A and B are shown apart, each in its own frame.
Chain A
Amino acid sequence: MPTVLLRLFFPHPHNKHRAHILHPLSFAFFVSLFIGLEFLILTHPDVASKVLGATANITPASIIELTNQRRAKEGLPTLKEDSVLDKAAQEKGADMMARNYWAHNAPDGTTPWHFFNEVGYSYRYAGENLARDFTQSEDIVDAWIASSSHRENLLSQRYEDIGVAVVEGNLKGINTILVVQMFGTKLNNVLPMVEKTTTLRVEPVNSLVQGEKVQLVSQVGGMFAATKTLGIGLLVFIIFILIADIFVVQIKRIDRHASRSSAHVMFLVVILFIVLIFEGGKIF
């Protein structure tokens, strides 16, 4: 093997028994390289999502089914899908896309209850769960269950109806998938359906309702997948070099004064494990 490569990757008398690639400056290079590539991923989300194809497999039906499965486990009654609540969820999703926000309350203070009223769902109890950038329905419901406030909504005895919308669109310049889950219990004296008048300019969004199947593409999901792949690649490479270092030092009984490669391997293996189990998506 050429001496240059030996010096670069393995302990050798010419590199004072420490591979050049394990020197502090090399790590500074790796951090800079990672940040640089991350910058490219962030500035070209379309490329990342095309290369790694972050398509989502989320439907309102699956969200409702999984929600009811969780409720059944807890001995709670099944929620009925209400088409009016579905519509309210779609309106909320479209509003978030149109006004570029992701929150329960809009920037102007519009609350989720506004959308219930707008579609004519007069409620005694109402609740809302939000999620974004997940690729699987199961992960969304798992995330809601893991959060006490969302779990409270999902497993509340007070609700009778459910409505879900999966909305794809451009949020803050990035193709994003939003999931809106609305819960409610009607008042006995239901108000008549109100004609919706809005001055909002609603951007065209890809919105899923019960039964529809559309290929959803999340650029955020693509960016996440690209970051994950890049991180795994770099980590595996460095761990491999460190393990080679440990073996060579052990076999050749090299006595040197350097940081502990074994400690670095332990640290980076844990980081690699975390990266591998890390899942994308946010809930609100």
Chain B
Amino acid sequence: MRHFTRHLSHYLSLTGLLLVALVGLIVFKYDPTFQTAIVISLGISFVIWGVVHHWLHEGLKIRLILEYLGVAAFGMAILLALIWSV
């Protein structure tokens, strides 16, 4: 909890980013091309968020970037498969 309050601005920006993507995907519910663009932007933004967050606070290591990349790729793969399976 202390971690959250200490990095409140970072988590607020992450929340904003996720909400924008969520709203975008709902608004463009029947536009797979736009949805794909939103999902890719979401994945890239999440990795950039992680990089900036660690770079500002604890120092950045390649392993950390890979962890964010892994999670982003996992989430993106599921959403893209769903968008293009119909």
Interface residues, chain A, with chain B CB atoms under 8 Å away: 22-24, 26-28, 30-31, 34-35, 38, 41-42, 133, 143, 146-147, 220, 223-224, 227-228, 231, 234-235, 238, 257-260, 262-264, 266-268, 270-271, 273-275, 277-283
Least CB distance from A131 to B in Å reads 10
**Cross-chain contact A257 with B70 (CB below 8 angstroms):** no
B47-62 interface (Cβ within 8 A of A): 49-50, 53-54, 58-59, 61
**Cross-chain contact A273 with B22 (CB below 8 angstroms):** yes
Determine if B8 is an interface residue (Cβ-Cβ < 8 Å).
no
The interface residues of chain A lying within 8 Å CB-to-CB of B64 are: 257-259
**Cross-chain contact B75 with A268 (CB below 8 angstroms):** yes
Known contacts A38-B85, A263-B53; 13 further A-B pairs (Cβ under 8 A): A24-B69, A28-B73, A34-B78, A133-B86, A228-B82, A257-B64, A259-B71, A263-B50, A267-B75, A268-B74, A271-B78, A275-B82, A282-B30
**Cross-chain contact B18 with A277 (CB below 8 angstroms):** no
The CA-CA distance from A240 to B13 in the complex, in Å, is 24
Describe A's contact surface by its main secondary structure: helix
The interface residues of chain B lying within 8 Å CB-to-CB of A280 are: 85-86
Interface residues, chain B, with chain A CB atoms under 8 Å away: 3-4, 11, 14-15, 18, 21-22, 25-26, 29-30, 32, 46, 49-50, 53-54, 58-59, 61, 63-64, 66-75, 77-79, 81-83, 85-86
**Cross-chain contact B66 with A24 (CB below 8 angstroms):** yes
Are A31 and B30 CB-contacts (below 8 A) given A231-B78, A262-B3, A270-B18?
Answer: no
Q: Which of A31, A35, A271 has the most CB of B within 10 A?
A: A271
The CA-CA distance from A144 to B22 in the complex, in Å, is 21
Least CB distance from A154 to B in Å reads 14
Are A278 and B82 CB-contacts (below 8 A) given A34-B74, A257-B58, A283-B30?
Answer: yes
**Which 3 A/B pairs are nearest by Cβ-Cβ distance?**
A27-B70, A24-B66, A259-B67
A sample of 9 cross-chain residue pairs with beta-carbon separation below 8 angstroms, ordered by A number, consists of: A34-B74, A227-B81, A234-B78, A258-B64, A258-B67, A262-B4, A267-B14, A270-B22, A271-B79
